[in-house]
A = this chain, B = another copy of it.
Amino acid sequence: MLSGLVSLVTISMSDKRTDVLSLAKFLPYQLSITSNAVSNRIAQVYRCEFGLKVTEWRVMAVLGDGGALTQRQLTERTLMDKVAVNRACKVLEQRGLASREPNAQDGRSHMLALTSDGWTMHDRIVPLARDMERRLLSQLNAEERVTFESLLLRLRDQSNKLGPAGADSAYGAD
């Protein structure tokens, strides 16, 4: 709006910048900072109180949801790097939150599952995470939430369509 006025006045200036990219108007940037803000809120829940990192919590959540899994399966479901999964599993094992058992079907891999302690922690975190989600979404009505979810999905699909799996990295937390 101001630049509009300026251009009226300085029409003939040759060095007028017409093509600036205001980050504030750039939707991918907005998406990024919003995601980070939300991620940090959620991460607080399990980082501060339970000393879990994002990767570790993601693995716990997936194990809680899907039962015993191999690291390969965890890698698929968490969309994390296999090394990150491996390290998270190692930590969980050392803390007694998950156990490894030999995989009868494949001697190379192990089946990972939550231990009793792991379940206890999991069951304490889930309600807290849900509660934080509820508070974050409290300003959106039911319809808006559905819309938002749908828009996110379509954006993700489109992104995948534009380039199959582009140099993935950096999980901002969930």
Chain A interface (Cβ < 8 Å from any Cβ of B):
3, 17, 19-23, 26-42, 44, 58, 61-62, 64-65, 67, 77-79, 123, 125-127, 129-130, 132-133, 135-140, 144-145, 147-149, 151-160, 162-163, 166-174
Contact = CB atoms under 8 A, between A and B. Distances in A.
Contacts of A132: 162
Q: Which of A64, A67, A79, A174 has the most CB of B within 10 A?
A: A174
A23 B174 contact: yes
Please state the number of chain copies in the assembly: 2
Given A35-B172, A170-B36, A30 B153 contact: yes
A50 to B, nearest CB: 14
Nearest to A154: B139
Top-8 shortest CB links A-B:
A35-B35, A29-B174, A172-B172, A37-B159, A32-B174, A34-B152, A21-B126, A20-B65
